[in-house]
């Protein structure tokens, strides 16, 4: 997997661990720590993990298994990440849940980025979460309230705030192309493209296993048996190309590239601190692979 990601132009990743039981989560963190120490050239670099859950709103859980969700508390946090704090870069949670405030404070004290996701937060609750230290939306529009003229929701709150990164899955399925371009034009300097790629990344369409559930992959999109959209198997740079293409070229396309560059340049809280930041020409192999994927430059 790491070799394939490197070949696809990805220099480093924060591997996402979805909601699961405590023991498998801690085992996965231990495995990632060991794999991180075995990095070698020709592989995508493993940064700290992204924990997506378990402090998610049950009504917005998406493909996360309900039986493993947990109310946010310091005890539940310690049970899951105690001893692995330095191995975690990012955590997604629903800030409107009771007890979430203390968890956000504890995570920020450890230097862990906190992102709003799988949440039913209102505009008011989202603003309060940003004031408390949440600095990102995990996947804008997905598993959260939509923008509405009388209920703007977290996406509008983040765009107005101006200091919150707007994660976007730009595959054209998770978010309609028109809405993706609208968000790009609304807050181009806040846009951060995320892949949402799952374990079958690089495998052909068909039925694959995901934890103990079958995952149906068709045209690069992954769904559970009940039709719930779970993720993609597309390269991250395919999202860049699709967003630029939908923008119609010219200025909109330039804006999508600028948004990706802003994320890499560290304007927003990013995993791995200085990982992935370099001057043009600083990594000729990386830039050669990215040029083959249609990227003009990285910064």
- What is the average pLDDT value for the chain, to the nearest integer? 86
Hey, which bits of the chain come out as E strands? 12-13, 16-18, 45-46, 49-52, 88-93, 113-116, 136-137, 165-168, 191-193, 206-210, 213-218, 221-223, 229-232
**How would residue 165 be classed by pLDDT, with cut points 50, 70 and 90?**
very high
pLDDT at 111: 96
pLDDT tens figures, 16-31: 999 999 999 999 999 9
Average of per-residue pLDDT across 48-76:
97
**How would residue 269 be classed by pLDDT, with cut points 50, 70 and 90?**
low
Question: Of 146, 171, 196, 211, which is the active-site residue?
Answer: 196
Rounded distance between C-alpha atoms, residue 108 and residue 171, angstroms: 31
pLDDT at 127: 98
pLDDT tens figures, 201-222: 888 899 998 888 888 999 888 9
Where do the domains of the chain lie, and which CATH numbers do they carry? 2-197+234-292 (3.20.20.140)
CA distances from 32 to 45, 46, 196, 260 (A): 11, 8, 18, 26
**How would residue 239 be classed by pLDDT, with cut points 50, 70 and 90?**
confident
Q: Which residues of 12-22 are buried (b: 16+ CB within 10 A; e: fewer)?
A: bbbbbbbbbee
Question: Does 171 participate in catalysis according to the annotation?
Answer: no
């Amino acid at each position: 997997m790491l070799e394939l990601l490197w070949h696809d132009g990805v220099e480093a990743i924060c591997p996402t661990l979805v909601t699961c039981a405590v023991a498998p989560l801690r085992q996965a963190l231990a495995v990632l720590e060991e794999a991180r120490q075995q990095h070698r050239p020709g592989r995508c670099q493993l940064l700290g993990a992204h924990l997506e859950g378990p402090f998610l709103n049950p009504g917005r859980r998406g493909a996360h298994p309900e039986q493993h969700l947990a109310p946010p508390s310091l005890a539940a946090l310690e049970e899951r990440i105690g001893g692995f704090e330095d191995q975690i870069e990012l955590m997604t949670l629903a800030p409107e849940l009771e007890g979430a405030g203390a968890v956000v404070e504890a995570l920020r004290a450890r230097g862990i980025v906190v992102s709003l996701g799988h949440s039913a937060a209102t505009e008011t609750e989202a603003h309060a979460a940003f004031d408390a230290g949440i600095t990102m939306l995990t996947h804008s529009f997905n598993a959260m309230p939509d923008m509405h003229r009388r209920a703007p929701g977290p996406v509008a709150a983040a765009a107005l705030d101006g200091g919150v990164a707007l994660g976007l899955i730009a595959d054209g399925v998770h978010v309609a192309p028109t809405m993706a371009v609208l968000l790009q034009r609304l807050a181009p300097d806040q846009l951060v493209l995320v892949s949402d790629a799952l374990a079958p990344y690089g495998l052909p369409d068909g039925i694959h296993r995901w934890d103990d559930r079958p995952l149906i992959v068709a045209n690069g999109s992954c769904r559970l048996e009940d039709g719930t959209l779970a993720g993609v198997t597309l390269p991250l740079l395919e999202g860049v190309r699709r967003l630029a293409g939908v923008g119609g070229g010219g200025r909109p396309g330039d804006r999508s590239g600028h948004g990706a560059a802003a994320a890499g340049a560290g304007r927003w809280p990013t995993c791995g601190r200085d990982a992935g930041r370099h001057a043009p020409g600083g990594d000729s192999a990386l830039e050669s692979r990215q040029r083959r994927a249609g990227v003009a430059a990285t910064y």
